[in-house]
Amino acid sequence: MKPEVILSVENVSKQYRLGKVGTGTLSHDLNRWWHKIRGKEDPYLKIGDTNDRTTKGKSEYVWALKDINFQVNSGEVIGVIGKNGAGKSTLLKLLSRVAGPTTGSIKFNGRIASLLEVGTGFHPELTGRENIYLNGAILGMTKKEIASKLDEIIDFSGCQRYIDTPVKRYSSGMTVRLAFAVAAFLEPEILIIDEVLAVGDAEFQKKALGKMQDISKGEGRTVIFVSHNMAAVKSLCTRGIVIENGIVVLDAKIEEAIAYYLSGGGDVINSKKFDPSALYDTEVYKLNSISLKNTGKEFIEPITENEVIELLTDIDIKDKEFYRYIITYHLYNEMGEEMFSFSNAKDGVNLRQGNNRIKCFFPKDFFQSGQYFLSLFIVKDKREAVFIEKDIVSFTVIDGGRELGIYMGREPGYIKPTFNWQNQQ
């Protein structure tokens, strides 16, 4: 039997206007209206840059999504993955009908309910029970449906004791539990879930993930799931859609999609070039670039932990008294915690006048996979910092050796040493 297509997204694009909405709004509106009267196309639809937040665009209109096409079969669980600002949430907003597409059409059979952010529409003055009804109705349930599941919802939330207390007296965790419980017992044909797992304590997260698994696998519901938690995506979804700068770059099996996404999708930016501005080009120094890669690899390739990683600092020292300067890095993990600092002077390499291409090598099996941030200090006479920039460059270390699908959770810690083990009998 051929699976039935339950959702079809056809040539969907979404345009946003950047900057301040306000100045010039009226004139653009009048211009649009004038074109419409004469039966012409909207003049602002022809322009617009792609959605890349790192570059400076020419137009004040931007395409958050451009020509998105995909179809979802009934019972499929799809993971939508992509970097921050790639357009995932915009896509979900269009699917959940919160915002309308600029062009294209979305067709579907059955109710779509979205779990974009839990607790939407809770009223602080109402009791937990009243809020279950209100929230359920907002999410598209009828009073009868809610009443039939009320006990289950209360039980799942674990808030029995407080169910007749106004929600404003709840702790934030309790509010989230209650809200998730309502959403978990929704019965739409298509369920959209965006990053909800980032809430609640560990126990509840586990419960929530288990419930999701039930929904998607046990009940055969169609689910569209957006998360940065690759372990969750991997265990829940069967198919993955990778979005990059507003365009679907890959639509494949979930393993393939995750591998593609983790490898950076071809444009790893583990390096940074600096414009010769007043900040980076002074009388004392001129900072050219900072970049990281595996030794023997290219800069565009992803950095893996199981090979030597080199950090290249390209800097010109213009001051005649070049020997008075050293460079120091501070390394931070993705939580912003300071891990350690390192400097060229400590390790016996000195700066020269003119161009320096200083390399620092991290041994293999040193970094745990994850994202790291470097702060750069140019220090004069070992006490005065003449240049400081926090998070000047970031780099991502991925797991080189690990087979995808074995264990997708993150291993603990930030270093990954290999030790000498022996089994002495």
Partner 1 sequence: MNENKNQEWLYEINPKDDFFRLHLKEVWQYRDLLMLFVKRDVVTLYKQTILGPLWYLIQPLFTAVIFTIIFNNIAGIDTGDVPPFLFNLASITAWNYFSSCLNSTSDTFKSNAGLFGKVYFPRIIMPLSTVISNLIKFGLQLLIFIAFYIYYLLIGKNVSPNITIVFFPILIVVMGMLGLGLGMIISSMVTKYRDLSFLVGFGVQLLMYLSAVNYPLSLIREKMPDYAWIAEYNPMAHVIEITRYMLLNKGSYSLGAMLYCIIFTVVVFFIGLLIFNKTEKTFIDTV
Q: Which stretch binds partner 1 (CB under 8 A): 91-99, 172-180, 236-244, 288-296?
A: 91-99
DSSP string of 233-251, one letter each residue: HHHH-SEEEEEETTEEEEE
Q: Which of 94, 212, 241, 287 binds partner 1 (CB under 8 A)?
A: 94
265/273 Cα distance (integer angstroms): 21
User: Least distance (Å) from partner 1 to the CB of residue 132?
Assistant: 11
Q: Which stretch binds partner 1 (CB under 8 A): 49-57, 114-122, 298-306, 336-344?
A: 114-122
State the binding string over 399-418 for partner 1 (x if CB under 8 A, else -).
--------------------
75/217 Cα distance (integer angstroms): 8
User: Least distance (Å) from partner 1 to the CB of residue 360?
Assistant: 46
Q: Which of 32, 50, 106, 150 binds partner 1 (CB under 8 A)?
A: 106
Which CB, 122 or 377, lies closer to partner 1? 122
The answer to whether 377 touches 330, Cβ cutoff 8 Å, is yes
Q: Is 142 in the site for partner 1 (CB under 8 A)?
A: yes
72/112 Cα distance (integer angstroms): 13
- Reduced to 3 states (helix: H, G, I; strand: E, B; else coil), residue 285 is strand
Kindly list the distances between the CA atom of residue 346 and the CA atoms of 145, 320, 360, in Å, as whole numbers in the listed order.
Answer: 69, 22, 12
Phi, psi (deg, nearest 5) at residue 87: 120, 10
Q: Is 114 in the site for partner 1 (CB under 8 A)?
A: yes
Angle between helical axes of 128-138 and 172-184 (0-180°, round to 10): 50
Q: Which of 98, 279, 388, 415 binds partner 1 (CB under 8 A)?
A: 98
Number of residues that bind partner 1 (CB under 8 A): 44
Q: Which stretch binds partner 1 (CB under 8 A): 50-58, 135-143, 394-402, 417-425?
A: 135-143
Where does 35-146 show beta strands of DSSP type E?
A: 49-50, 61-73, 77-81, 103-108, 112-115
User: Least distance (Å) from partner 1 to the CB of residue 72?
Assistant: 12
97/106 Cα distance (integer angstroms): 10
Q: Which of 3, 24, 43, 121 binds partner 1 (CB under 8 A)?
A: 121
Q: Which of 50, 73, 74, 96 binds partner 1 (CB under 8 A)?
A: 96
State the binding string over 239-268 for partner 1 (x if CB under 8 A, else -).
------------------------------
- Tokens at residue 268, please? 């790893």
Which CB, 109 or 289, lies closer to partner 1? 109
Which CB, 186 or 379, lies closer to partner 1? 186
Q: Is 29 in the site for partner 1 (CB under 8 A)?
A: yes
Which CB, 22 or 417, lies closer to partner 1? 22
Write the single-letter amino acid at 134.
L
Q: Is 133 in the site for partner 1 (CB under 8 A)?
A: yes
Write the single-letter amino acid at 28.
H
Note every long-range contact of 286-293, with CB atoms under 8 Å and residues 24 or more positions apart, other chains counting: 286/315, 286/316, 286/318, 287/314, 287/315, 287/376, 287/387, 288/314, 288/315, 288/316, 288/355, 289/313, 289/314, 290/314, 290/374, 290/376, 290/392, 290/393, 291/393, 292/393, 292/395
- Give residues 44-73 in contact with partner 1 (rule: CB under 8 A): 71
Where does 158-221 show beta strands of DSSP type E?
A: 190-194
Q: Is 138 in the site for partner 1 (CB under 8 A)?
A: yes
Those residues whose C-beta lies under 8 Å from the C-beta of residue 403, and which sit 6 or more positions away, are: none
Which CB, 99 or 150, lies closer to partner 1? 99
Which CB, 91 or 393, lies closer to partner 1? 91
14/66 Cα distance (integer angstroms): 7
Q: Which of 49, 52, 73, 134 binds partner 1 (CB under 8 A)?
A: 134
Catalog residues that contact partner 1 under the rule CB under 8 A: 5, 8, 16-17, 21, 25-26, 29, 71, 93-94, 96-110, 112, 114, 116-117, 120-121, 123, 125-126, 130, 133-134, 137-140, 142-143
